[in-house]
Amino acid sequence: MDIFEIDGPTRLSGSVEVAGSKNSALPIIAAALLAPGVSNIPNAPDLADIRSMQMLLESLGARVHRDKAGLHVDATTVDNPVGDYDLVRKMRASICILGPLLARCGRVKISMPGGCSIGDRPVDIHLRGVKALGAKIHLENGYIVAEAPAGGLTGAEIFLGGPFGSTVLGTDNVMMAAVLAKGTTVIESAACEPEVADLANCLNAMGAKIQGIGSPRLVIEGVKRLKPVVYPVIGDRIEAGTFIAAAAMTQSRLKIKNCDLNHMMAVTDRFRHIGVQVESNGHGCEAALDGPIEPADITTQPYPGFPTDLQAQFMALLALARGNSVVTEKIFPDRFMHVAELNRMAANLRKEGPSVIVAGVEKLIAAPVMASDLRASAALVLAGMAAEGKTVVQRVYHIDRGYYRIEEKLNKVGAKIRRVSV
Instruction: Classify the phi-psi angles of 169: left when phi > 0, otherwise alpha if psi is within -120 to 50, otherwise beta.
Output: alpha
Active site residue 116: yes
Nearer to ligand EPU, 189 or 394 (CB): 189
Nearer to ligand EPU, 175 or 320 (CB): 175
Question: Residues with Cβ < 8 Å from 271, sequence gap 6 or more?
Answer: 244, 245, 248, 278, 287
Q: Is 206 helix (H, G, I), strand (E, B) or coil?
A: coil
Rg (CA), the chain: 21
Burial of 138 (0-12, 13-18, 19+ CB in 10 A): exposed
Nearer to ligand EPU, 12 or 244 (CB): 244
Residue 179 in the binding site for ligand EPU (CB under 6 A) = no
Q: How many residues belong to the site for ligand EPU (CB under 6 A)? A: 27
In whole angstroms, the minimum distance from the beta carbon of 253 to ligand EPU comes to 27
Span of 142-150, 157-165, 257-265, 267-275 interacting with ligand EPU by CB under 6 A: 157-165
In whole angstroms, the minimum distance from the beta carbon of 326 to ligand EPU comes to 20
- HSE-up of residue 198 (Cα within 13 Å, Cβ side): 25
In whole angstroms, the minimum distance from the beta carbon of 76 to ligand EPU comes to 26
223 to 262: interface string for ligand EPU, x by CB under 6 A: ----------------------------------------
Main-chain phi, psi angles of 255, to 5 degrees: -95, 130
* Closest residue by Cα to residue 254 from 264, 240, 267: 240
- Distance from C-alpha of 263 to C-alpha of 25, rounded to nearest angstrom: 16
- Distance from C-alpha of 290 to C-alpha of 251, rounded to nearest angstrom: 5
In whole angstroms, the minimum distance from the beta carbon of 5 to ligand EPU comes to 24
Q: Which residues pair with 351 in a beta bridge?
A: 356
Q: For the chain, how far is it from start to end, CA to CA, in angstroms?
A: 6
Q: Which of 96, 105, 116, 192 is catalytic?
A: 116
326 to 345: interface string for ligand EPU, x by CB under 6 A: -----xx-------------
- Distance from C-alpha of 395 to C-alpha of 298, rounded to nearest angstrom: 28
- Distance from C-alpha of 396 to C-alpha of 132, rounded to nearest angstrom: 41
Q: Do 394 and 344 meet the contact criterion of CB atoms below 8 Å apart?
A: no
Main-chain phi, psi angles of 164, to 5 degrees: -110, 20
Q: Which residues pair with 336 in a beta bridge?
A: none
Residue 23 in the binding site for ligand EPU (CB under 6 A) = yes
In whole angstroms, the minimum distance from the beta carbon of 126 to ligand EPU comes to 5
In whole angstroms, the minimum distance from the beta carbon of 9 to ligand EPU comes to 27
Count of Cβ atoms closer than 10 Å to residue 233 Cβ: 26
Nearer to ligand EPU, 29 or 208 (CB): 29
In whole angstroms, the minimum distance from the beta carbon of 176 to ligand EPU comes to 13
- Distance from C-alpha of 80 to C-alpha of 62, rounded to nearest angstrom: 9
Count of Cβ atoms closer than 10 Å to residue 227 Cβ: 12
Nearer to ligand EPU, 126 or 270 (CB): 126
Beta pairing, strands 107-111 & 82-83: parallel
- Residue type at 374 in one-letter notation: L
Nearer to ligand EPU, 288 or 406 (CB): 406
Residue 375 in the binding site for ligand EPU (CB under 6 A) = yes
86 to 125: interface string for ligand EPU, x by CB under 6 A: ------xx---------------------------xxxxx
Nearer to ligand EPU, 26 or 342 (CB): 26
In whole angstroms, the minimum distance from the beta carbon of 93 to ligand EPU comes to 4
- Could you give the C-alpha distances from 165 to 87, 147, 301, in angstroms and in order? 28, 27, 8
Residue 206 in the binding site for ligand EPU (CB under 6 A) = no
Residue 169 in the binding site for ligand EPU (CB under 6 A) = yes
Nearer to ligand EPU, 271 or 403 (CB): 403
279 to 308: interface string for ligand EPU, x by CB under 6 A: ----------------------------xx
Q: Do 403 and 22 meet the contact criterion of CB atoms below 8 Å apart?
A: no
Nearer to ligand EPU, 12 or 264 (CB): 264
Span of 54-62, 74-82, 159-167, 222-230 interacting with ligand EPU by CB under 6 A: 159-167
Residues tagged active-site: 116
* Residues contributing to the site for ligand EPU (CB under 6 A): 23, 26, 92-93, 121-126, 162-164, 167-170, 191, 195, 307-309, 331-332, 374-375, 402
